[in-house]
């Protein structure tokens, strides 16, 4: 089984927030102790971090689930629950994160780059938080918020210094095995290499001055064929690994068993690279003829190598090392990478129709506003109305076209919408003076509209 995996899935589940506590101070010689319920702890979040010590997505192939811990519930005496622990998921540098629809969410292109994959749920506020001059004994508290939960697709784009490009069975694996400690599978049939192989090439170590040695990473990209840019053969599965290579080394098969002439090979390979990503043709590249020990072709001005006999290998490695050093120097002058912390944009609130006389309000801020433990408590309902008005939900519903008597659902809460004479709102005003319990019995849902009931 190969230890290199360049695509995988991740299921990130953040921790749920702890519930707030409803409690009142009870002590000797204290006739009427005030509310002292503590807040619930926040749930842990899931972060994805690019780590240069990781080289593959193998750890996600059989175990894609990553979950943070939940926050603890608040208790009496204003004791807050402890927060859940964050989970850090390390991935190789160059990992891209996509949603299930294939939309790119983030590109972790530098070491230390972080992205918030799932945000932990907020802890609920205890009843001590709702004490005011008008509300002396609040008997309600917030429920903890559920942590976010998402499936992601992960794709790795290798960041090799040199990428070996060529037709299947051109000798790429033999070359990387000759110049590095990599030991890829080598055989005399096409598509022997099914995953990219990486090898570290060290140049100048024999001079007796280790500080003069140059190291670079060489990637053996599985063979390309005509139509690879459109997905033929291994196609897009491995062309993406060429995108970030600093230097391209194009190998042309000179043996009599080559499928087409070397000139035709070069034409096809360069065309496929350009069709896939035009700027790949602007990268520094070296073109060499492979299998020089059994060559049946000669190409003017193109050097020949043999990975079997070692012909031309030292010269090729030296040339590649020089180009890599040059590109690295140019990159260092242009950019000094700084660790980037990526966070999703704030959630927006939006209204959707859910039937002829029904509406749904979506968005994390709106759902947060109604997360109370007891939705039948009049004081809790009044607090919900205030929060939704502050968020502008009443105006959004009016613009959406909601009518009197329509049912509006926000998370676990459903209520009837009514409009007063002054303007739109969640309160029912004086239009229909019916007690809340009668409305519950009649409609089977909550109605936040009657201002008399909420007083």
Structural domains in the chain, sorted by start: 1-156 (2.70.210.12), 162-334 (3.40.50.300), 350-454 (3.30.300.350)
> Burial, 368: exposed, middle or buried (Cβ in 10 Å; 0-12, 13-18, 19+)?
middle
Q: What are phi and psi of 13, to 5 degrees?
A: -125, 115
Identify each DSSP E strand in 358-455 by its residue range.
Answer: 358-362, 407-410, 413-416
Distance CA 250, CA 280 (A): 12
Which residue, among 230, 208, 234, 209, has the nearest Cα to 221 in the 3D structure?
234
Q: Is the pLDDT reported for residue 326 higher than 60?
A: yes
Question: 3-state class of 22 per DSSP?
Answer: coil
The confidence score (pLDDT) of residue 187 equals 43
The confidence score (pLDDT) of residue 166 equals 87
Identify each DSSP E strand in 99-222 by its residue range.
Answer: 104-108, 114-118, 149-156, 162-165, 197-203, 214-220
The confidence score (pLDDT) of residue 182 equals 60
How confident is the model over 276-292, as a mean pLDDT?
91
Distance CA 439, CA 227 (A): 67
In the chain, helix, strand, coil percent, each to 5?
A: 25, 25, 50
Q: Which of 137-151, 170-184, 299-313, 412-426 has the lowest mean pLDDT?
A: 412-426
More confident residue, 339 or 263: 263
Distance CA 430, CA 258 (A): 88
In eight-state DSSP terms, residue 178 is: H
Do the Cβ atoms of 20 and 38 come closer than 8 Å? Answer: yes
Q: Which of 21-30, 193-202, 356-365, 416-425 has the lowest mean pLDDT?
A: 416-425
Contacts of 443 (CB under 8 A, 6+ apart): 416
> Burial, 151: exposed, middle or buried (Cβ in 10 Å; 0-12, 13-18, 19+)?
exposed
Distance CA 252, CA 229 (A): 19
Task: Provide the edge-to-edge strand list for the sheet that holds 95-98.
Answer: 65-67, 7-13, 149-156, 95-98, 104-108
Share of the chain above pLDDT 90, in %: 32
186-233 pLDDT, tens digit each: 444 344 445 677 777 888 755 454 445 677 888 888 766 565 445 444
Q: Which of 201-215, 371-385, 388-402 has the lowest mean pLDDT?
A: 201-215
| Residue located via tokens 């530098």 | 110
| Residue located via tokens 């909420």 | 454
Question: 3-state class of 206 per DSSP?
Answer: helix
The confidence score (pLDDT) of residue 67 equals 96
- CA 294 → CA 7, 224, 286, 314, 422, distances in Å? 37, 22, 21, 19, 92
For the record, the structure tokens of 423 come out as 């303007």
Q: What are phi and psi of 281, to 5 degrees?
A: -75, -15
For the record, the structure tokens of 139 come out as 């008997």
More confident residue, 216 or 312: 312
The confidence score (pLDDT) of residue 210 equals 47
Question: 3-state class of 240 per DSSP?
Answer: helix
In eight-state DSSP terms, residue 142 is: B
What is the separation of C-alpha 298 from the centre of its chain, rounded to a whole number of angstroms? Answer: 49
């Amino acid at each position: 089984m190969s230890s290199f995996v360049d695509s995988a899935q991740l299921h990130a589940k953040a921790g749920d927030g702890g519930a707030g506590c409803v409690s009142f101070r009870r002590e000797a010689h204290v006739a009427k102790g005030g509310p002292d319920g503590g807040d619930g702890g926040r749930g842990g979040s899931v972060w994805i971090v690019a780590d240069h010590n990781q080289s593959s997505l193998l750890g996600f192939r059989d175990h894609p689930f990553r979950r943070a811990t939940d926050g603890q519930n608040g208790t009496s005496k204003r004791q807050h629950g402890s927060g859940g622990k964050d989970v850090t998921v390390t991935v190789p540098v160059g990992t891209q994160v996509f949603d299930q629809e294939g939309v790119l969410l983030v590109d972790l292109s530098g070491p230390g780059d972080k992205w918030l994959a799932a945000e932990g749920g907020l802890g609920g506020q205890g009843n001590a938080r709702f004490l005011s001059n008008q509300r002396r004994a609040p008997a309600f508290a917030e429920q903890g918020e559920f942590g976010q939960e998402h499936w992601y697709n992960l794709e790795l784009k290798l960041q090799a210094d040199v990428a070996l490009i060529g037709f299947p069975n051109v000798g790429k694996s033999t070359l990387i095995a000759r110049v590095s400690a990599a030991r890829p599978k080598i055989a005399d049939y096409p598509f022997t290499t099914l995953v990219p192989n990486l090898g570290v090439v060290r140049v100048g170590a024999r001079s007796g001055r280790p500080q003069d040695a140059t190291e670079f990473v060489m990637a053996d990209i599985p063979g390309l064929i005509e139509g690879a840019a459109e997905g033929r053969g291994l196609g897009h599965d491995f062309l993406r690994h060429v995108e970030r290579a600093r230097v391209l080394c194009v190998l042309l098969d000179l043996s009599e068993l080559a499928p087409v002439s070397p000139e035709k090979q070069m034409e096809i390979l360069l065309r496929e690279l350009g069709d896939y990503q035009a700027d790949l043709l602007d990268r520094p590249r070296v073109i060499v003829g492979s299998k020089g020990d059994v060559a049946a072709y000669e190409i003017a001005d193109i050097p020949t190598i043999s990975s079997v006999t070692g012909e031309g290998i030292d010269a090729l490695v030296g040339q590649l090392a020089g180009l890599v050093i040059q590109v690295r120097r140019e990159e260092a002058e242009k950019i000094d990478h700084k660790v980037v912390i990526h966070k999703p944009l704030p959630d927006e609130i939006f209204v959707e129709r859910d039937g002829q006389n029904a509406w749904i309000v979506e968005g994390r801020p709106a759902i947060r506003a109604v997360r109370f433990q007891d939705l039948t408590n009049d004081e809790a309902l009044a607090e919900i109305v205030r929060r939704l008005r502050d968020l502008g939900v009443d105006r959004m519903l009016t613009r959406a076209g909601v009518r009197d008597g329509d049912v509006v659902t926000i998370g676990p809460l459903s209520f009837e919408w009514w409009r007063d004479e002054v303007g739109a709102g969640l309160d029912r005003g004086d239009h229909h003076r019916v007690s809340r319990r009668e409305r519950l019995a009649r409609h089977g849902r909550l109605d936040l509209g009657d201002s008399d009931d909420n007083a």
